[in-house]
Structure 1
Amino acid sequence: MIINKNIIRSEFIRRPNRFQAYVKINGVETMVHVPNTGRCREILIPGCTVILREETNPNRKTKFDLIAAYKEGTLINIDSQIPNKVVEEALNNKKIKLLNKYNKVQREKTFGNSRFDFKIEDELQNECYVEVKGVTLEENGKTMFPDAPTERGKKHLLELVEVKKSNKEAAVIFLIQMENVKYFTPYDEMDMDFANALRFAHKKGVHVMAYNCKVGENFITLDQSIPVVL
C-alpha cells in the first residue's frame, strides 16, 4: 500500500508516554502522536531517524504521526493500523498462499465473544476467521510477539480454537513490519500465557503464519512467508 499523505524525516528525542513523542523538525522540538501502544524501546532510541506522516484533521492536537523508524539501517514501520490494511491488500491480491481459495474478504467480524480482523469466504461459503498481529520486535533476525503483555491477544487465540471446533477455518497472521528477518517466534519471556495459547491453538488446527514486509518511507506491502518457530 502507498501512503499518500506528506512524509518527512525527523530526529527522535523522547517518548514520555504511549501516545506522545517529541521529535526535532527543522531544529524545533515538536510533539507528535505515536500510533502504537507497544513499547518499541529497541526502536525509538534518542537520536534515531524517524518517519512522520502529516495529518490534515484540524481538530488534532498534533500535526504528525510517527509511523516508522530506522534501526541500524533497517526501516521498521510501527503504525498499529497498518498491518490490517497490508493483510487486506494481500488477501485481495491472493498473496497469502494458504488462503488463496477465499475470495470474499470482510473486516471486523464477530464470532463468539471476539471480534476478529477478517472473515473470509470461498465460493461454497466456507468460512475462515483471521486475526492479524503486527510485529516490530527484532533481535539479530529473530522476530517476536508480543513486546508487552496482552491478555486480549491470548483471548483471540483461544477464540480461534473455538472457531476451529465449529468446523470453520481459523488463522493468525503475524505481520512483521520490516525486511531482512530470519524467523518468528512467540516472546515467552514477555508473555508466557500468550505463547502457550499460540502453541495450543496451533495444535488444535489454527493456521499460524508469519510474513515480512517490504517497507519504504511512503509504502509498505506484504512480501514473503517467514518460518514460524513454536
Structure 2
Amino acid sequence: MLITNNIRHAKFIRRPNRFQGYVELDGEELMVHVPNTGRNREILVPGYTVVLREENNPNRKTKYDLIAGYKGERLINIDSQIPNKVVDEALKLGNINKLKQYTNIKREKTFGNSRFDFKLEDENGKEYYLEVKGVTYEDRGKTAFPDAPTERGRKHLLELVEVLESGRGAGVLFLIQMDTVDYFTPHDEMDKLFGEALRYAYHSGVDIFAYDCKLSDNFITLNKPVEVRL
C-alpha cells in the first residue's frame, strides 16, 4: 500500500508520553503525534532519523504523525494503524497461502463478547477469525512481541482458542513492520504471560503466522513468511 500523504524526515528529540513526541524539522522543534503505544525505545532515540506523515486536519493539535524510524540502516514502521491495512490488502490479493480460500473478508467483527480484526468466510460459509499484531521490536535479526505488557493481547489469544473450540478457524498474524529479519518469538522478558498464552494457543490448534514487510518511507506491503520460534 502506498502512503499518499506528504512525507518528511526529521531528527527525534524526546517522547514525553505515549502519544506525543518532539522532533527537529527544518531547524525547529515540533510536537508530533506518535501512533503507537509501545515503548519503541530502540527506535525513538534522540538524534535518530524518523519519518513523519503530514496530516492536514485543522482540528488536530499536531500537523504530523511519526510513522517510522531508522535504526541504523534499518527502517521500522511503527504506525499501529498500518498492520490491519497491510493484512487486509494481502488477504484480498490472496497472498497468505493458508487463508487464500477465504474470499469474504470483513473487518472488526465480534464472536461472543470478543472483537477480532478479521472475520473470514469461504464460499461454503466456513468461518475463520484472525487477529493481527504489529511487531516493531528487533534485536540482531530477532523480532518479538509485545513491546510493552499487554493484557488485552493475552485475552485475544485465549478468545481465539474459544473460537477454535466452536468449530471455526482461528489464527493470529504477527506483522513484522520491517524487512530482512531472521525469526519471530514471543517477548517473554517483556510479558511472560503473553508468551505462555501464545504457546497455549498454538498447542490448542490456533494458527500462528509471522510475515515481514517490504517497505520504504511511503510504501509498505506484506512480504514473506518468517520462522516462528515458540
Provide the TM-score with structure 2 as the length reference. 0.99
Give the equivalent residue in structure 2 for 1:127: 127
Number of positions where the alignment pairs a residue of Structure 1 with one of Structure 2: 230
Give the equivalent residue in structure 2 for 1:15: 15
Give the equivalent residue in structure 1 for 2:197: 197
Q: Give the counterpart letter for 1:85 in structure 2.
A: K
- The answer on 1:102 being equivalent to 2:102 is yes
- The answer on 1:222 being equivalent to 2:194 is no
Give the equivalent residue in structure 2 for 1:40: 40
Q: Give the counterpart letter for 2:138 in structure 1.
A: E
Query: Superposed, which structure 2 residues align to 1:136-155 within 5 Å?
Result: 136-155=136-155
- Cα displacement (A) at 1:112: 1.8
Distance 2:149 2:217 in 1: 29
Q: Which runs of 5+ in 1 are unaligned?
A: none
Give the equivalent residue in structure 1 for 2:71: 71
User: Secondary structure at the residue paired with 1:131?
Assistant: strand
User: Secondary structure at the residue paired with 1:188?
Assistant: coil
Q: Give the counterpart letter for 1:32 in structure 2.
A: V
Q: How high is the sequence identity, in percent, across the aligned residues?
A: 66
- Cα displacement (A) at 1:113: 1.9
Checking the alignment, whether the CA contact within 8 Å between 1:113 and 1:159 is kept in structure 2 is no
User: Secondary structure at the residue paired with 2:16?
Assistant: coil
Query: Superposed, which structure 2 residues align to 1:53-72 within 5 Å?
Result: 53-72=53-72
- Cα displacement (A) at 1:56: 1.0
- Cα displacement (A) at 1:157: 0.2
User: Secondary structure at the residue paired with 1:110?
Assistant: strand
Give the equivalent residue in structure 2 for 1:86: 86
Q: Give the counterpart letter for 1:128 in structure 2.
A: Y
- The runs of 4+ residues in structure 1 deviating greater than 3 Å are none
Distance 2:133 2:106 in 1: 17
Q: Aligned-residue CA RMSD in angstroms?
A: 0.5
